[in-house]
Amino acid sequence: MDRRGTRNIVVRFLEKVDIKPGKCWEWQGATNKNGYGVLRIAKEKRNVLAHRYSLEFITGCPIPEDKDVCHTCDNPRCVNPEHLYLGDAYSNVHDMINRKRDRKAFGTNVHTAKLNENKVREIRRLYEDSGWTMAMIANLYGVGRNAIASVIRRKTWKWVD
């Protein structure tokens, strides 16, 4: 204990980690709403994400605020530094989408979706082969022109051929 009677942060951190060599080190303490471990730094009266603390502690280098600590294991409770790497917001989101971890509904899984895969194919065919304008197609399907533009440009529904 330090002179104020608080336990060393490293000791508190390690007490909250289930260390399994070669596997995820599961955080056993408090988590945030996204499932990431949270560690209280009493001296500074603030919380830090446990996986950020883990990587910072192991490397001995402070992590810049504009950097993300990303997981190779897709486990938000994992604090194993072998499963963590530095990235930025763009690379983190790109990685999340590539691994299908974004947990966002898309396509017909969106409860308000007005389109489906067959309608998307028909929209693209009408635009490419029939000379219909985006406004005409939007009116036909009861959606906005921007929605039709996104479908045609494959910003949305990109998995549909």
One DSSP character per residue, the chain reads --TTSPPPHHHHHHHTEE--TTS--EE-S-B-TTS-BEEEETTTTEEEEHHHHHHHHHH-SPPPTT-EEEESS--TTB--GGGEEEE-HHHHHHHHHHTT-S----GGGSTT----HHHHHHHHHHHHHS---HHHHHHHHTS-HHHHHHHHTTSSSTT--
pLDDT averaged over the chain? Answer: 87
Q: What is the pLDDT of residue 113?
A: 80
Q: What is the pLDDT of residue 154?
A: 93
Q: What is the pLDDT of residue 91?
A: 83
Residue spans of the domains in the chain: they are 9-98, 107-152
For residue 51, report the phi and psi dihedrals to the nearest 5 degrees: -70, -35
Res 53 pLDDT > 90: yes
Q: What is the pLDDT of residue 83?
A: 93
Name the burial class of residue 82, with classes exposed (0-12), middle (13-18) and buried (19+) by CB atoms within 10 angstroms of its CB. Answer: middle
Q: Are 48 and 37 in contact (CB under 8 A)?
A: no
Q: What is the pLDDT of residue 1?
A: 46
Per-residue pLDDT tens for 2-49?
444 456 888 889 999 999 988 999 999 999 998 999 999 877 788 999
pTM: 0.59
Read off the pLDDT band of 93 (50, 70, 90). Answer: confident
Q: What is the pLDDT of residue 106?
A: 67
